[in-house]
Structure 1
Amino acid sequence: MLTLISATFAMPVQAQDVSGKIRLELNQAQPTQDGGCRLSIIATNGLERPMNQLGLEMVAFNKDGLVDQFLRLDFSRISAGKTKVLQFDLAGKSCESLSRLHINDVLNCVPPSITDVYCPDLLDLANRTAIEFGD
């Protein structure tokens, strides 16, 4: 029995989910009591290093395809292979009035010392809503 326990502790820890991409999923759009829209975005850090802060510049479009609102979202530190969820409200904008959520830019996905990485190229996008989501 002692051998089995020792072997169990000696086994390597299961690898984190490292894909080389930053997965962003528009997960949910819910109406709020004041007539606004609450959006949930899930970010998974598939890079081999933590991100101290992930910034998203986004643009919301109305049903006519016109630019409606500019947004800046910031995720706090996301460890390698880990996930964070961010919810934000668009006050006075019903979910039905939104046609598209565009990612204009992605900031701070790597430390400032790394200059050869363009963060938007690392995106892997997913969507579970009726609102178009992408770049």
Structure 2
Amino acid sequence: MRRLTRIAPLCAAATLAAAPAAAEEEIGARLAIELNTARSVESGCELSFLATNGHDGDVEAAVFEAVLFDTEGRVERLTLLDFGTLPAGRPRVRQFVLPETTCEALGEVLFNGATDCAAGDLGPGACTAGLELRSRTEIGVIG
């Protein structure tokens, strides 16, 4: 049995110079997370997510339990994706390398819930209530 591991973002402070139109649209009072790219790197599969916080306040910490499924629908592993701080109204890019995994072998990512959501007055449900998930890759994203 594989252990649940926490994957910290590679580029915690990375932002988009010119945010895609989807990130600029009014998303309402919720988080929107898009799997923007998936590329194979020497150490595994690098997933780049675009996260936008549509709430009126910052989310100081957002950690999601993710279930990775292979292309045949079998659970490959559970992991924690640490999105860090998500400021209100500002898109952020977070990159994660999944070690010993090829992008071609991934079929879907399930956001199984938030294990940590520090959102001040917004409350702990700010990370999951109305969470909008999408993908621009061949890998599906569900929640």
TM above 0.5, yes or no, is yes
Pairing partner for 1:77 from 61, 85, 90? 85
Query: Who is 1:44 aligned against?
Result: 52
- Taking structure 2 as the reference length, the TM-score comes to 0.73
Q: What TM-score results when the alignment is normalised by the length of structure 1?
A: 0.77
Q: Distance in 1 between matches of 2:118 and 2:27?
A: 14
Q: Give the deviation of 1:113 after TM superposition.
A: 8.1
Question: Which consecutive residues of structure 2, in runs of 5 or more, have no partner in the other structure?
Answer: 1-25
What is the correspondence of 1:56-135 to structure 2 with a 5 Å cutoff? 56-106=64-114, 107-108=116-117, 110-111=119-120, 114=123, 117=125, 119-135=127-143
- What is the CA–CA distance in structure 2 between the aligned matches of 1:54 and 1:72, rounded to whole Å? 10
1:33 shift after superposition: 2.4
Q: CA RMSD in A?
A: 2.0
Bigger strand share:
2
The corresponding residue for 2:42 is 33
Structure 2 counterpart of 1:23: 32
Q: CA deviation at 1:110?
A: 2.7
- Whichever residue aligns with residue 86 of structure 1, its letter is R
Distance 2:84 2:72 in 1: 33
Between Structure 1 and Structure 2, how many residues are aligned? 117
Change (3 A) 1:18 1:93: closer
* Greater Rg over alpha carbons, structure: 1
**1:10 corresponding residue in structure 2:** none
- Alignment gaps of 5+ in structure 1: 1-16
User: Is the 8 Å Cα contact of residues 33 and 50 (structure 2) preserved in structure 1?
Assistant: yes
SS of the residue 2:129 aligns to: helix
1:126–1:40 Cα change, 3 Å: same
| Distance change >3 Å, CA 18–CA 104, structure 1 → 2 | closer
Contact 2:59 2:85 in 1 (8 A): yes
Write the distance in 1 (CA, Å) between the matches of 2:84 and 2:78: 20
Misfit runs of 4+, over 4 Å: none
